[in-house]
Amino acid sequence: MRKIPNHGTLRMTKVAYPLGLCLGLFIYVVYIKWHRASATQAFFTIAGAASGARWGQQAHSSLGSAIRGHEVFYGIMFDAGSTGTRVHVFQFAQPPGETPTLTHETFKALKPGLSAYADDVEKSAQGIQELLDVAKQEIPFDFWKVTPLVLKATAGLRLLPGEKAHKLLQKVKEVFKASPFLVGDDCVSIMNGTDEGSLKTPGRSSVGMLDLGGGSTQITFLPRVEGTLQASPPGHLTALQMFNRTYKLYSYSYLGLGLMSARLAILGGVEGKPVKDGKDLVSPCLSPSFKGEWEHAEITYRISGQKAGSLYELCASRVSEVLRNKVHRTEEVKHVDFYAFSYYYDLAASVGLIDAEKGGNLVVEDFEIAAKYVCRTLETQPHSSPFVCMDLTYITLLLQEFGFPRDKVLKLTRKIDNVETSWALGAIFHYIDSLNREKSPALK
């Protein structure tokens, strides 16, 4: 029996995460666009933060001279996802009066995810410390005390019972507090739906973002139609303050509709529960002759195909059942330019819809065409990934459920204006800015 890895054969790039923080990434991207459109709009000045009262008490005495003339600063973001924990060590540079830019990123990932230690929280500390050591090696000693350290946990921990998740986060916080970095009371948290989420800059059209992770999927855009605001369900709107203005965003995270969780639902399994008596999970989305094992959230499932009819039609019917009444549809998405990240990118690249390194544009129907072709091929011959028919069909119908027409163009990219599309980058950028804007020190 074939053993199928958690992600099949999809290649996960270092900027494609189980789920994203679209809102955080957007803040960084829009800041760059805003600043370029109007150089007089000052978002923050790291020199003031480093030497002023807010960070001054934490700063090493030699810091000012070390960064004088060309300001340099660092940030550390831990991404505690459903399949692993990753550390991103970012270095920024800011010439006087200009936009801060990312000059270097160090990245390292460890498996499994934090949720795997739910019943033995002490074991989680070793991996966290190993990733902290990476940060200590990359950041000069003089910067340690002024470099913020943050962990954002995603869908994996949101699926755990509250008490287990709390104990895991408390253990992480203990390890963080013992580190030499700048650690606040809010340094460790589980992201909610509004955290996981475009903004309109002067003279520019609104931009939306789509992110498909392993445990959840997110959609975020700035509504310009009053009807969108009025018709949005509770929890789908969030206020964002930027550039001395408050914006109301449409932003929602659908827990359980990420690609890995969707696979399990399409197979007929239940999150966190092994199948009784070790029976196979049978799906019309798999090749009729396929039999194998698939591991998800530390549980191994036996899976097999189903012999009957047209693979795509049967799979689409099953996916429709899983998505029924799960996603809110908005008409306005037809008129907003959307960027799509993570598994949208990886699936499109894996079947040749876009260049694997450069990305590209496609229309929603391209996913459908690819799904029908691959599913038809699977009826008679195996594919390197047994899930490719299922995954492409799921993305096709998910986008349609969101309200995207078949001819809607999506931009699939890893960079916007040469900025890597990592939610961790946006999140740490936003965190640093929030420290700078606070009226009194919030960090110990």
Task: Give the pair of three-digit tokens for residue 150.
Answer: 């943050």
Query: Is residue 384 annotated as involved in ligand binding?
Result: no
Is 196 marked active-site?
Answer: yes
**Buried b / exposed e along 349-366 (16+ C-beta atoms within 10 A):** bbbebbeeeebeebbbbb
Query: Is residue 214 annotated as involved in ligand binding?
Result: yes
C-alpha–C-alpha distance, residues 427 and 187, integer Å: 12
C-alpha–C-alpha distance, residues 218 and 19, integer Å: 8
Query: Is residue 218 annotated as involved in ligand binding?
Result: yes
C-alpha–C-alpha distance, residues 198 and 250, integer Å: 9
Query: Is residue 113 annotated as involved in ligand binding?
Result: no
DSSP code of 298? T
Sorted by sequence, the CB contacts under 8 Å of residue 444 that are 6+ apart come out as 183, 184, 185
Active-site residue, from 71, 196, 332, 401: 196
* Biggest alpha carbon–alpha carbon distance for the chain: 73
Question: Where are the strands (E) in 222-375, listed by range?
Answer: 237-242, 245-255, 281-283, 291-296, 299-305, 337-342, 360-363
Query: Is residue 396 annotated as involved in ligand binding?
Result: no
C-alpha–C-alpha distance, residues 211 and 137, integer Å: 31
Nearest to 221 by CA among 241, 238, 203, 204: 238
- Binding-site annotation, residues for ATP: 214-218
Catalytic residues: 196
